[in-house]
Amino acid sequence: MALFRRKRRKAKRDLTVEEQLARGPMDLPFLGLVLLLTAIGLIALLSASFAYGMYNPYPDIQDTGGDPYYFFKHQAFFAVAGVGIMLWVSKVDYQRLRWLGAVGLAFSILLLVLVLIPGLGVAANGARRWLKLGVTFQPSEMAKATVVIAFASALSRRKDRKGLPPRKFNRRTAFGRFCEWADKFGFLELVPYGVVLLIILILLAKEPHMSGMILVCIGAASVLFASGISLGWFAALGAVGAGGLWFIITQTEYMTKRIELWLDPLSDLQNGGYQLYQSQVAVGSGGLLGKGLGNSTQKYLYLPEMQNDFVFSIWCEEMGLIGALLLIVIFALLIIRGFWLALHARDRFGTLLVVGFSTLTAAQVAFNMGVVTGAIPTTGISLPFFSYGGTALVVNLAEMGVILSVSRQITAPKSK
């Protein structure tokens, strides 16, 4: 027995400093908030999807077999698997994710290419966003996470060039003079990240997957911003993006119609305005205290996609304004705690990882709640931990596992 204890002490002494830090305690408030949201999400999904599963209105799109617990059972399976993955990831030293950045990003791009190949990509509702390789999943969910990891890994090694001599270029050529000018304003530093983003955005546009494009851009922009990229570039790119968005809205009939329906859903209730109108009916009919859990009227096939992007509408109807505000507070606490962990991370890589994943979560929550209440046009962005979708739930929980991994080392001195 004494020999066994001596071996354990020796094994502990042989651990490196990084390994010992990675075995520190995880942030329990953050973990508790994640588990609470996952549990509430399952309950909300069960209530919202019960009628859809029982009546099975669209067997050619989603055949539930008349099982009222169809969506709940599938989501519960992925929730258990996701929590297990989250806890496993939380025990892995996040420094090991550095190598995963470029490799994971390349793999995600490959999967996005495979989605476009007939026979591999699965089409539904006019879009080809799913890939069937034994199991069916959305590669765009992986792309959002790997963009954050890859950018965080590269930018954590970024050196501020203030005070350093300018790079040398051949000024005899026009290209050399352009490179010198571009380097002076920091443009050359952004080129690799811009190329990667452009490739991913083109592939997502081919699906098409507008909400995925928005979230990939937000995740990348948050990491670039936190790394210290000049605010001038964000202002310039924001102006270009706003101009491009205005052009798309005003010059394409589809987007123009969508904006018109957002402003006045009653103008075409038979088609595009129906979903938003029914969502607003659900939110408004909840009142202050709601109709009670399980007592929604809109979930009886009045509101389309009540188990996906519009699960928050059913939650508002059943739990009322008080329940909606309570859920918003829990999400806010999770996001604020995430940014607190980012401020106390051991190094820049950890900070950028937490900022990227916390910003992605915040953006998804804000966009989804904005859509279902009619505050912003429909984007198709799901509500984290609530909307039905195994891939999204597992990836969300894995991202939370990365944040918990960073939290294990927050007591260590910061390093560059």
Q: pLDDT digit string (tens) for 302-318?
A: 988 889 889 999 999 99
| Token couple for 360 | 């992605």
Which strands form 121-124's sheet, in the order they lie side by side?
121-124, 127-133, 135-137
Q: At 267, is the pLDDT very low, low, confident or very high (cuts 50, 70, 90)?
A: confident
pLDDT of residue 130: 79
Confirm if 367 and 380 have CB atoms less than 8 A apart.
no
Distance CA 224, CA 247 (A): 26
Residue 126 φ/ψ region, left for φ over 0, alpha for ψ in the -120 to 50 degree band, beta for the rest: left
The answer to whether residues 347 and 337 touch, using CB atoms and an 8 Å cutoff, is no
Interior angle at CA 415, CA 410 and CA 416, nearest 5: 130
Distance of CA 337 to CAs 113, 220, 340, 343, 364, Å? 36, 21, 5, 10, 17
State the pLDDT at residue 163. 45
The model's pLDDT over 142-175, given as tens digits with 9 standing for 90+, comes to 899 999 999 999 888 876 544 445 556 556 666 5
Top-confidence residue, 354 or 389: 354
- At residue 120, φ and ψ (nearest 5 deg) are -100, -45
pLDDT at 4: 47
pLDDT reading at 288 higher than 80: yes
Would you state the pLDDT for residue 161? 47
413 vs 150, higher pLDDT:
150
The pair of structure tokens assigned to 228 is 């210290």
Give the pLDDT of residue 274: 85
Domain residue ranges in the chain: 26-407
Q: What is the C-alpha to C-alpha distance for residues 114 and 263, in angstroms, rounded to an integer?
A: 37
Q: 365-388 burial, b if ≥16 CB within 10 A, otherwise e? A: bbbbbebbbbeebbbbbbbbbbbb
Cβ(364)–Cβ(218) under 8 Å?
no
